[in-house]
Chains A and B, each alone.
Chain A
Amino acid sequence: MSSISSEEIISILRNEIENFEMISEEKEVGSVVWVGDGIATIYGIGHAMYGEIVIFENGVRGMVQDIKREQIGCVILGKEDEICEGTKVTRTGKRAGIPVGDAYLGRVVNALGEAVDGKGAIEAAEYRAIEQEAPGIADRQSVHEPLETGILAIDAMFPIGRGQRELIIGDRQTGKTSIALDAILNQRGKDVVCIYVAIGQKSSTIARLVHTLTKYDAMDYSVVFAATASDSASLQYIVPYAATALAEYFMYQGRDVLIVYDDLSKHAVAYRALSLLLERSPGREAYPGDVFYLHSRLLERASRLSDALGGGSITALPIVETQAGDVAAYIPTNVISITDGQIYLESDLFFSGMRPAVNVGLSVSRVGGAAQTKAMKRASGTIRIDLAQYREMEVFAQFGSDLDETTREQLRHGRSLMELLKQPLCHPLTLAEQVILLAAADDRAFSDMSAERIGEAKEQFLEYFAAHHAALLDRINEKKTLDDGLWDEIMGAVKTWKDGYLHEKQMYEK
């Protein structure tokens, strides 16, 4: 930053003051009668609208959330220390909004769109209301383009399309955030804007996430919205809406956006706190009656716009934390019913070493094949059925060893698939890598290896292809389809690898 001398600063200030024109206009004012827990009750400002921003005497803003006959309840979007009984409140006539613009890319901001990463103010292109109506029916088109997460288990079996809403659900410590993070890392160079919304998380967790994003050069196309656990419930409540307003700014420019809400259970808790303080009646699990609408109106804003509107999209990956695997709790069932599918993560799988701990049976993507490239569709073929059969068979296999050859073959194949689906953190796979892995699995290339060796063999397999068949990989990535010629070529390469490398290393158990 260039240095400015004190004389210059003073002259700027003098200029500002000289040019300051006082416009005395009518203002509607009220006064605070009660304040506490981030909520203020105001007497007066009788014409305030729901969701309007009001300004307290000390400059702090509030948002009107409750309109009664004689008084207005509003949430305080800032520090409430200096607000006391009798503090004057002025209407602004504006609904809550945040500044938006391209300059937000690469920044960490709070719920009000103010920078919190110490890199200075952010230049805004425009101002958008945080609560926007979702695109209508005519404004949308169906989801048809995949958004690759780089995670084999997801891209092969539960593909996510651009404009889809796919819930990531699971207990604590099952790798929910990691899946979302991997999905963000995989968007590098694909012209997708990624927005990560942290709701009620520890600052240290967010700092670690930002560090990871920076380390893998993902901050250039990402924005992190942070409402930490120390922020007030009102800020935690508005942050996903504010982040979506920024996402819509990019979407209406025709760009694709991936937005991760981490997590909506904490968001519901923040809203519950607000609602109880605003004296709204508690319902099931003490959540207010409109907690479904809270999330449905947020997630409904994810969409794939029609070509007439630029064809941009917002893909939403909401995260919900369950308690002891209880997906039948209030918030999980709500969000499951709102989204177009869910990725269900399980603690048991996670601790048995299956990472990502995706439960193949309970996870689903309701958009399905429409959001898969032809290449992936062909390569993934029967993987879901194979795995389902494997799980069924596995239970029986525990009881007796007297199995016929077909069953044993199915078990071996299933086990190798499970091993192949394991993937370390921050190692997204490209489309071509996923396709050749699936093709090799389809060819039973890994079936007769012991489970412990598959991981190593997989690494070698990918290295071999990168070294000897780079052109083939490029072609798959480019064409995104698999004709018979290409398929045969892959199969040939797989066979060569299998014969050459594996015999040499004598990895076969036989």
Chain B
Amino acid sequence: MTQTARNYGRVLFELAVPREEIEELRRMYFETPELMLVLNSPVVGEKEKHAVIGQIFHGRLCNFMKVLCGYQSVDQIPDILKAYDAYFDEQSDTLRAALYYVTAPDDVQREGLEKYLGRKYGRREVVLEMTRKPELIGGFVLRIGDIEEDYSIRGRLSALQQKMTGR
């Protein structure tokens, strides 16, 4: 992610564009690559691009896209959206964590986990993205960014293996 993408992501947040419009942009980017190809093309004139943008986007997002086109940064949209998400979470005091499990936790367990994470990282909201991973054999793995907390059977086995083989 470049600094430019971070800056645009932040601006996008501060423009207070409704969340739905952002999601719409995200969907459009991945579903209609032709549109982005046109907006990114140096062959298409600025006037034509602006006309297209004017028909598809509205309000502040429309202006934002025009600026992106002007600086030929349309290809950075995925990074900009990523930066937007990160900044959004930061501003709304939300922690995004991934939980890999074998047996899904019940509501009480889940609430407990969310509380634990919120306390540990000092965030008010915790969003758990749950993924089932049978190869863990048992237990679960928590992943917050680059930090991983491994409570799975597979993790234990590999730790034991490393200890025994001395590697």
Contact = CB atoms under 8 A, between A and B. Distances in A.
Given A59-B165, A70-B1, A20 B146 contact: no
Given A59-B165, A69-B1, A70-B1, A26 B159 contact: no
Contacts of A57: 158
A27 B151 CA distance: 12
B148 interface: yes
B160 A27 contact: no
B164 interface: yes
B56 interface: no
B51 interface: no
A29 interface: yes
A24 interface: yes
Contacts of B150: 24, 27
A47 B1 CA distance: 16
B149 interface: yes
B167 interface: yes
B16 interface: no
A45 interface: yes
B38 to A, nearest CB: 28
A22 interface: yes
A277 B19 CA distance: 43
A24 B151 contact: yes
B146 A29 contact: yes
B148 A26 contact: yes
Interface string A378-395: 000000000000000000
A28 B162 contact: no
B148 A27 contact: yes
A26 B163 contact: no
Nearest to A59: B167
Contacts of A27: 147-150
A44 interface: yes
B156 interface: yes
B149 A16 contact: no
Interface in B129-166: 143, 145-151, 155-156, 158-165
Interface residues on A, range: 20 to 34
B59 to A, nearest CB: 32
A24 B146 contact: no
Given A22-B156, A70-B1, A29 B163 contact: no
Interface string A42-64: 00111100000000010100000
A24 B150 CA distance: 6
B4 to A, nearest CB: 12
Contacts of A46: 145-146
Contacts of B165: 59
B49 to A, nearest CB: 29
Given A16-B164, A17-B160, A59-B165, A24 B1 contact: no
B148 A20 contact: no
A30 interface: yes
Nearest to B120: A26
A24 B147 contact: no
Interface string A6-40: 00000001001100101011111110000000000
Interface of B: 1-2, 143, 145-151, 155-156, 158-165, 167
The 4 residue pairs across chains A and B that have the minimum distance between CB atoms:
A59-B167, A29-B148, A44-B146, A22-B156
Interface of A: 13, 16-17, 20, 22, 24-30, 44-47, 57, 59, 69-70
21 contacts: A16-B163, A20-B160, A20-B163, A22-B159, A22-B160, A24-B150, A24-B151, A24-B155, A27-B147, A27-B150, A28-B147, A29-B143, A29-B148, A44-B146, A45-B146, A46-B146, A57-B158, A59-B161, A59-B165, A69-B2, A70-B1
